[in-house]
Amino acid sequence: MSEALYIIKVGGNIIDNDEKLRAFLHSFSSLKGKKILVHGGGKLATKLAADLNIPQQMVDGRRITDAETLKIVTMVYAGYINKNIVATLNALGTPSIGITGADAHTIKAHKRNHPTIDFGYVGDVDGINESFLLSLINQHLNVVVAPITQDDQGQLLNTNADTIAQEIAKAMSKHIETILIYSFEKKGVLRDINDENSFIPIIDAAAYEQLKNEQAIFAGMIPKLDNAFEAIRAGVKKVIIGDAGALHELVGGQSGTAIS
């Protein structure tokens, strides 16, 4: 088996904090091996929308993406945030390339069709162009993916970064041993979002169902955990959720919540 591929998603408040983001990128840069970094958008898009007097709607933590909001998230996610990360990594001696799902049609998606909510230009993933991603990592490039996709008609779509990370991990696991890491500002999965001592070190499928039934887990973590278990079922070797400030420990399995 060749060396593992790490799919690392960074999000939460890390993206919004220049100091924490730079520290994370230093750690990412020093990791050995093949790596793909998927990033979220942080709060910058919300701030820019407010500055431009463009109203924003959120439903269960998901952004309703109308035409004007799509322009903003594309500029912020695919533009400023993505290229800032790429430039920092390149300056650290880590050759990197920044892409969206639209580049080389890397992430095939369609506009979400919800029975009761019009999410606007929000995309759900249909497939991954893994041969293109393999060609990049085999050139020893670190790939930095922004959460913008497109449909078959060329329409750009705002797509959840956690889901993108999961879908890339699932696709790449068919070709190379793949480890998926969700990194953010918390120690791992918490029963109580305000109590770091409520950290859960290991969650298997049975324990997850019990925790959900008992409503004994922070509700905002449910979509991330759903993604994690889907990745495991699809053949991803490991999924770990934890603190972006302890990236090497996450990769080494010494910290974070392990999904099994």
Q: pLDDT per residue over 5-29, tens digit each? A: 999 999 878 999 999 999 999 999 9
Sequence-ordered list of residues with C-beta below 8 angstroms from that of 104, at least 6 positions apart, any chain = 129, 132
What percentage of the chain exceeds 90 in pLDDT?
A: 75
What pLDDT, on the 0 to 100 scale, is given for residue 61? 64
Q: Nearest Cα to 85, choosing from 139, 44, 47, 39?
A: 39
Dist. CA 132–CA 202, nearest whole Å: 34
**Out of 130-139, 174-183, 186-195, least confident range:** 186-195
Give the predicted TM-score (pTM) of the model: 0.94
What pLDDT, on the 0 to 100 scale, is given for residue 65? 94
- Give the DSSP per-residue string, the chain: -PPPEEEEEE-GGGTT-HHHHHHHHHHHHH--SEEEEEE--TTHHHHHHHHTT---EEETTEEEB-HHHHHHHIIIIIIIIHHHHHHHHHHTT--EEEEETTGGG-EEEEE---SS---BSBEEEEEE-HHHHHHHHTTTPEEEEESEEE-TT--EEE--HHHHHHHHHHHHTTTS-EEEEEEESSSSEESSTT-GGGEESEE-HHHHHHHHHTT-S-GGGHHHHHHHHHHHHTT-SEEEEEEGGGHHHHHHTSSSEEE-
pLDDT tier, 60 (very low <50, low <70, confident <90, very high otherwise): low
What pLDDT, on the 0 to 100 scale, is given for residue 1? 42
Q: pLDDT per residue over 213-255, tens digit each? A: 888 787 778 888 999 999 999 999 999 999 999 999 999 989 9
Q: pLDDT per residue over 42-51, tens digit each? A: 788 888 989 9
Mean pLDDT of the chain: 92
What pLDDT, on the 0 to 100 scale, is given for residue 28? 97
Is the distance from CB of 39 to CB of 146 less than 8 angstroms? yes
Domains recognised in the chain with CATH numbers:
5-259 (3.40.1160.10)
